[in-house]
Amino acid sequence: MTPERRSFTLDSTLENVDNAEQAANEIATQFGFNEEEVLQIAMAVREAAVNAVLHGNAYDPAKKVSLDFERTAGDLVITIRDQGKGLDPSKIPDPLAPENLLKTSGRGIFLIRSFMDDVQINPSASGTEIKLIKHVHGPAADGKEASQ
Amino acid sequence: MNLKTTTRQVDGVNIVDCSGRITLGEGSVVLRDVVKDLLGKGQKKILLNLGDVNYIDSSGIGELVSAYTTVKNQGGELKLLNLTKKVHDLLQITKLYTVFDVKDDETSAVKAFR
């Protein structure tokens, strides 16, 4: 039976960015998303995990990243929290603006927003929480497994 | 799989065959080092063959941009060859597809270098 909720607490390492992506891949597949959706979800989680490890926790071994996958009636809700200074979403530059097009960074949040149906960024003094939401379509919406 | 590269030369153009993932960490560093090494040898015509690159993240995209601008700033040319659908789609949504000179045929790509 597909679990409805999975939670992980991760050290702030690059290896755990790969682990978060892998977990997203497996869980999104278990929840019945199609191949393209799984790729999008896994990439969004990877980008959010990179932000948490690098920009949030700055590789601080004392700070953790929490990763939570929850299947609700109509959505897959993924929550990623870091223990950094807090990301102000209003200060994220538009990577599609002509003056930013050739910048070598700053596309992570844009890609997350492109791949998910809804993204909520909640900064606080104790860190940043980002909620990634993907609507469940097709057979997965009825709570059934993907084709075996 | 992390990024692996092999470089060959055709008519003065350095074709870098890439396979694996270009992501934050080792994959991005491998690409950066290959381009840096070629420029250090005075090789300024670089064709990145991404036909076997099955995954790229925002850091990898940034590394491609960095390679492109670094080569261009040194008076060279960097073009991309054989994009997979995933990489093609990512360059489209980030509006970089028209920034890069993207080719899908090696022979014509080599001829396109000045």
CA distance B42 to chain A (A): 24
**Digit-coded pLDDT (tens) for B93-105:** 999 999 999 999 9
CA distance A105 to chain B (A): 5
Interface membership of B63 toward A (CB under 8 Å): yes
Q: Where residue A138 falls among pLDDT bands split at 50, 70, 90?
A: low
Nearest residue to A47 via CA among A129, A107, A89 = A107
Contact B57 A96 (CB under 8 A): no
CA distance A1 to chain B (A): 30
Q: Which residues of A7-42 are buried (b: 16+ CB within 10 A; e: fewer)?
A: eeebbbebebbbbbbebbbebbbbbbbbeebbbbbb
Chain A residues in contact with B95 (beta carbon < 8 A): 96, 101
Helix (H, G, I), strand (E, B) or coil at A10: strand
Local structure of residue A112 (DSSP, 8 states) = H
Interface membership of B9 toward A (CB under 8 Å): no
Query: Both ends of chain A: CA-CA distance in Å?
Result: 13
With beta carbons less than 8 A apart as the criterion, state whether B70 and B37 touch: no
Nearest residue to B100 via CA among B66, B70, B68, B60 = B68
Please report, to the nearest 10 degrees, the dihedral formed by the alpha carbons of residues B68, B70, B74, B75 taken in order: 10
**Digit-coded pLDDT (tens) for A43-99:** 999 999 999 999 999 999 999 999 999 999 899 999 999 999 988 888 889 999 999
Q: Which of A39, A47, A96 sits opposite B95 (nearest CB)?
A: A96
Distance CA(B44)–CA(B73), nearest Å, equals 10
Q: Which of B25, B86, B90 sits opposite A14 (nearest CB)?
A: B25
Three-state helix/strand/coil letters over A55-73: HHCCCCCCCEEEEEEEECC
Contact B99 A102 (CB under 8 A): yes
Q: Which of B57, B59, B69 sits opposite A102 (nearest CB)?
A: B69
With beta carbons less than 8 A apart as the criterion, state whether B60 and B23 touch: yes
Joined together, the tokens standing for residue B20 give: 């694996």
Q: Which of A102, A108, A114 sits opposite B93 (nearest CB)?
A: A114
B48 pLDDT more than 90: yes
Distance CA(B40)–CA(B43), nearest Å, equals 7
ipTM for the predicted complex comes to 0.91
**Digit-coded pLDDT (tens) for A1-58:** 455 899 999 999 999 999 999 999 999 999 999 999 999 999 999 999 999 999 999 9
The pLDDT assigned to B114 comes to 79
Distance CA(A59)–CA(A20), nearest Å, equals 15
Phi, psi for residue B113 in degrees, rounded to 5: -75, 140
CA distance A136 to chain B (A): 22
Interface membership of A105 toward B (CB under 8 Å): yes
CA distance A74 to chain B (A): 27
Interface membership of A35 toward B (CB under 8 Å): no
pTM for this entry = 0.91
Joined together, the tokens standing for residue B55 give: 């995954």
CB-count burial class (<10 Å; 0-12, 13-18, 19+) for A66? middle
With beta carbons less than 8 A apart as the criterion, state whether B88 and B69 touch: no
Q: How far, in Å, are A32, A33, A76, A78 from residue A141 at the CA level? A: 8, 9, 10, 17
Segment (H or E) for A92: none
